Structure 1
Amino acid sequence: MASALAEISRPGWLSDPLLASPPLLETAADHGRPCQTVPDNTTTIISLATALDMALCFNPQSQDAWASIRQYSAQRGEARAAYLPNISAGISRQQQQSRYPATSRQMDTSISTDSRYASLTWRLLDFGGREARLQAADHMLSAALASRDAIIQKIMRDVIALYFSAQSAQAERDARAEGKNIAQEILTMTKRRETQGLAAHTDSLQAATALAKAELELARATANADKTSLALALKLGFPQGVMRLPRIQAADVRRYNVIQKDLSAWQALASEQHPAIVAAYAQWQAAKEQYKATRADGLPVLDFSHSRYLNGRPNQELSARQSRETVTGLTLSIPLFEGFGRHYKQQGALAQIAQKEAQWQETRNQVLHDISQTYSEATASLLTLEASGRLLRIAEETMQAIQRKYAMGLADTQEILNAQAGLADARQERVRTLAEWRSAQLRLLTDAGKLRMHDVE
Structure 2
Amino acid sequence: MSGSPSRMRGRSQYTLYLSLLVFVSQPVLAFDVLRTEGAIPPTAAASLVATGLDGNIRPCQFGAPGVPLRLEEAVDRSLCENPKTREAWANVKVQAANVGVARAAYLPTVTANWQDVRDDSVTDITGHPALSSADRASIHTASVSLNWVLYDFGGREAALRNADQLLAAARANQDATLRSAFSTVATDYYAAQAAAGKLAAAQETEQTAHDSFVAASARVAHGVAAITDQLEAQTSYAQATFARAKADGDLKTALGTLASDMDLNPSEPIAVPPVNDGVAPDLDFSESVTELIQQAEQQHPSVAAARAQLEAAVAKEQQTRAQGWPTLNFVAKYSQNNQPASLGLGEPQFPATGHDWYFGVQVQIPLFEGFGRTYQARQAHAQVEVQQYTLDEATQQVGLDVWKTYQSLQTDLQNTGNTAALLNIAQRSFDAAKHRYTAGVGNILELLHAQSQLADAHQQRIQALTDWRAARLQLAAKLGRLDLQDLHLGER
Please indicate, yes or no, whether the TM-score normalized by the shorter chain is above 0.5. Answer: yes
State the AA in 2 paired with 1:21.
E
Equivalent residue, structure 2, for 1:443: 474
TM-superposed CA distance for 1:363, in Å, is 1.7
TM-superposed CA distance for 1:111, in Å, is 5.5
CA contact (8 A) 2:162 2:315 kept: yes
**Distance in structure 2 (CA, Å) of the matches to 1:66 and 1:229:** 27
Equivalent residue, structure 2, for 1:389: 420
- Kindly tell me: are residues 346 and 201 of structure 1, through their superposed partners in 2, closer, same or farther at Cα, counting changes over 3 Å? same
* Gapped regions of structure 1 (runs ≥ 5): 1-9
Equivalent residue, structure 1, for 2:272: 245
Equivalent residue, structure 2, for 1:368: 399
**Distance in structure 2 (CA, Å) of the matches to 1:451 and 1:332:** 54
Q: CA RMSD in A?
A: 2.8
CA contact (8 A) 1:405 1:411 kept: yes
Query: Residue 441 of structure 2: SS of its match in structure 1?
Result: coil
CA contact (8 A) 1:257 1:441 kept: no
- Kindly tell me: are residues 110 and 27 of structure 1, through their superposed partners in 2, closer, same or farther at Cα, counting changes over 3 Å? same
State the AA in 2 paired with 1:127.
F
**Distance in structure 2 (CA, Å) of the matches to 1:384 and 1:369:** 23
TM-superposed CA distance for 1:435, in Å, is 0.5
Q: Please list the CA deviations of residues 140-166 of structure 1 after superposition, one character each: whole Å capped at 9, or x if unmatched.
A: 000000000100111122222222223
Matched, 1:152 2:189: no
**Distance in structure 2 (CA, Å) of the matches to 1:408 and 1:93:** 112
**Distance in structure 2 (CA, Å) of the matches to 1:378 and 1:422:** 26
CA contact (8 A) 1:288 1:353 kept: yes
CA contact (8 A) 1:35 1:53 kept: no
TM-superposed CA distance for 1:374, in Å, is 0.9
**Distance in structure 2 (CA, Å) of the matches to 1:73 and 1:126:** 23
Matched, 1:401 2:432: yes
Q: TM-score, normalised by structure 1?
A: 0.88
Query: Residue 442 of structure 2: SS of its match in structure 1?
Result: coil
Equivalent residue, structure 2, for 1:163: 189
Equivalent residue, structure 2, for 1:6: none
TM-superposed CA distance for 1:221, in Å, is 2.6
Equivalent residue, structure 2, for 1:3: none
- 1:111-150 aligned at under 5 Å gives the runs 113-150=139-176
Matched, 1:325 2:351: no
Equivalent residue, structure 1, for 2:443: 412
Query: Residue 15 of structure 1: SS of its match in structure 2?
Result: coil
Q: For this pair of structures, how many residues does the alignment match?
A: 440
**Distance in structure 1 (CA, Å) of the matches to 2:302 and 2:485:** 21
**Distance in structure 2 (CA, Å) of the matches to 1:426 and 1:29:** 40
State the AA in 1 paired with 2:239.
K
- 1:286-297 aligned at under 5 Å gives the runs 286-297=312-323
Equivalent residue, structure 1, for 2:457: 426
- Kindly tell me: are residues 240 and 295 of structure 1, through their superposed partners in 2, closer, same or farther at Cα, counting changes over 3 Å? closer
State the AA in 1 paired with 2:359.
T
Identical residues among aligned pairs (%): 31
Equivalent residue, structure 2, for 1:71: 94
TM-superposed CA distance for 1:89, in Å, is 2.2
Query: Residue 378 of structure 2: SS of its match in structure 1?
Result: helix
Equivalent residue, structure 1, for 2:6: none
- 1:41-60 aligned at under 5 Å gives the runs 44-60=67-83
**Distance in structure 1 (CA, Å) of the matches to 2:407 and 2:400:** 11
Aligned counterpart in structure 2 of residue 80 of structure 1, from 96, 103, 108: 103
CA contact (8 A) 2:233 2:448 kept: yes
Query: Residue 22 of structure 1: SS of its match in structure 2?
Result: helix
- Kindly tell me: are residues 97 and 204 of structure 1, through their superposed partners in 2, closer, same or farther at Cα, counting changes over 3 Å? closer
Aligned counterpart in structure 2 of residue 15 of structure 1, from 22, 25, 31: 31
**Distance in structure 1 (CA, Å) of the matches to 2:215 and 2:353:** 118
State the AA in 1 paired with 2:202.
R
TM-superposed CA distance for 1:53, in Å, is 2.1
- Kindly tell me: are residues 173 and 234 of structure 1, through their superposed partners in 2, closer, same or farther at Cα, counting changes over 3 Å? same
**Distance in structure 2 (CA, Å) of the matches to 1:86 and 1:219:** 72
TM-superposed CA distance for 1:345, in Å, is 0.7
TM-superposed CA distance for 1:112, in Å, is 5.2
Query: Residue 423 of structure 1: SS of its match in structure 2?
Result: helix
CA contact (8 A) 1:176 1:221 kept: yes
* Gapped regions of structure 2 (runs ≥ 5): 1-25, 51-57, 340-348
Deviates more, 1:218-227 or 1:350-359: 218-227
**Distance in structure 1 (CA, Å) of the matches to 2:333 and 2:381:** 41
Query: Residue 122 of structure 1: SS of its match in structure 2?
Result: strand
CA contact (8 A) 2:70 2:272 kept: yes
**Distance in structure 2 (CA, Å) of the matches to 1:128 and 1:16:** 25
**Distance in structure 1 (CA, Å) of the matches to 2:28 and 2:356:** 39
CA contact (8 A) 1:259 1:379 kept: no
**Distance in structure 2 (CA, Å) of the matches to 1:231 and 1:415:** 40
TM-superposed CA distance for 1:34, in Å, is 4.1
Equivalent residue, structure 1, for 2:411: 380
CA contact (8 A) 1:113 1:320 kept: no
Aligned counterpart in structure 2 of residue 282 of structure 1, from 304, 308, 314: 308
- Kindly tell me: are residues 29 and 389 of structure 1, through their superposed partners in 2, closer, same or farther at Cα, counting changes over 3 Å? closer
Matched, 1:92 2:115: yes
CA contact (8 A) 1:111 1:319 kept: no
